[in-house]
Amino acid sequence: MAGDTKLSGAVEGRAATQRDLGRLEEWACANLLKLNKAMCKVLHLGWGNPQYQHRVEDEWIESSPAEKELGVLVNEKLDVRRQCALAALKANCVLGCRKRSMARRSKEVILPFSSSLLRP
């Protein structure tokens, strides 16, 4: 499988983007790789984007409202609020788990325990 391959194009370049998708298909075939069409997504960035449809191997690619790239959730407006909300939710879950796992919550117990779990 050819994984984590990114292809980008300008809004005006629908034909060029589709041509590049065709080249990507040819490259994958020449290198005995198979594209996972179910994992192919289109992320339309920016305001006023006409949201062109594209195809891979004669199948339409599904549009996605947001995709994760290098651990960062990227949406069509490049807004980070959802990323921040997910990080806060994860941190609160970890803190709640730590709180429930401690029998004593004195300062002498909490400080060494918390500092041992923090990253430098």
Q: Where are the domains of the chain?
A: 1-78, 80-120
Per the model's pLDDT, the better-predicted residue between 53 and 10 turns out to be 53
- Cβ–Cβ < 8 Å for 54, 24: no
**CA–CA distance, 44 with 66 (Å, rounded to integer):** 9
Cβ neighbourhood burial of 33 (10 Å; 0-12, 13-18, 19+):
middle
For 66-114, the pLDDT digits (tens) are 777 777 777 777 777 888 888 888 888 887 887 787 777 777 777 777 7
For 11-40, the pLDDT digits (tens) are 667 788 888 888 888 998 899 988 888 888
This prediction has a pTM of: 0.55
